[in-house]
Structure 1
Amino acid sequence: MPRAETDQPSEELSGLRAIWANTLEPVPPLPWYRRVSPKLAVAGVVVTGLVSALVAAAVTGVGAPPRHRIVLAERVGDQVRLPDDGNTQAVRADYERRMTALRPYRELAVAGYGPAGTTGTSLTLVGLTGSFPDPQRELRKYFGRMEGGDLMRDTVSGLQDFPAGPLGGELLCAVMVYPSVSQTTCAWADGSTVGIVTDTAGESELEDLAARTLDIRSAVEVAAED
């Protein structure tokens, strides 16, 4: 007996079978890159670009602060470098004892300066080269104002900030009071150098030594070779 035209199949057609049953061309599933949201795709490109830039910067050093080091000059302003006297030798020996593998200091330079034609040192320069992520902290350590700092001095008087000049970083000056003498001292720090200038003649005010320290720094702080 022929099947009535109104009879329905025993199973419902679904999926691709339903498409074929409707005589339509089958549609293959979309590739993965067309199923991804455009916003997510853009975000992925941005993240990939940032990661690539960070890797390149880490390898090449792009964006990192320039590295400097201290190289003693024969003349700084109106002062010339003098042969080491007892004070200069003592200062160098003191810092050499402090430079251990646990500290960030890698190079040490110590020299005495004075007016041309004299033999007495009027300024002592100590230059340290290394890695100093927090220049302000290095200076506070030197002046003994931080817990755990190097308490190298008996008393610090009149600690004051000054402009550090075109080389950047920080510059602090103070009067260091010893039992028998007072000395004006200025110290600068940036990411790779620390410099300490002491008026051993006892003739400079803070402002005067700060200005002279900038002259000395411009003469001795040079770009480090890669």
Structure 2
Amino acid sequence: MKKVYEGKTKTVFELEDGNYLLKFKDDVTGENGVFDPGANTVGLTIEGAGQTGLRLTKYFFEILGEKGIPTHYVDANIEEATMTVKPAEMFGNGLEVICRYRAVGSFLRRYGMYAEEGQELDGFVEVTLKDDVRQDPPISEDALAMLGILSHDEYKRLKELTREIGAVVKDELQKKGIDLYDIKLEFGRAGDNNEITLIDEISGGNMRAYKNGEYIEPLKLGELVLSE
């Protein structure tokens, strides 16, 4: 097993069979000790966050698999906080795709002249470059195509998948009386036909969710969703 990447919230190892192993950490992104799924730095460490994040990721990836939505998920070991995944090629140096149902976070900071906090959004899809130095700048479809990161057809598919996955997660949370405000996803090209595939994770660490108007911490979100 060869270590190939040390990320903020996961360590990545290459396995002998060509698959990869993701080791989930207890670190979450944020600033000044406050969680923020869109932050570029590790803001705090929450004991058990890695296992809870993996448990929720496994839960959602298996639902998506049943619906025929392509993901890189193979299997997971909750006790060891590891997930085995199929190889996938990133778009450029990586993209983050956000599906927004409410005006909060960076959307509100940018568009606060026109948007009110918590205002409903109709599954607005936003793509940002993974670039810590430039604070993950938003990028348009045309710019992605012109820079050779993503073709127009790939962008269309990316947007479709994002809204489809966002809707699945939103519906699952709604069953527990939880409102999804936004979710951050990552995609790559996988397989012989370079199919656009969901990668990384789906956990409390990459979404904002509220219940009765109160924000739910990532660890608590996992507990609420996975409770009987």
* TM-score normalised according to structure 1 size: 0.28
RCO higher in structure (CA 8 A, sep ≥6)? 2
* TM-score normalised according to structure 2 size: 0.27
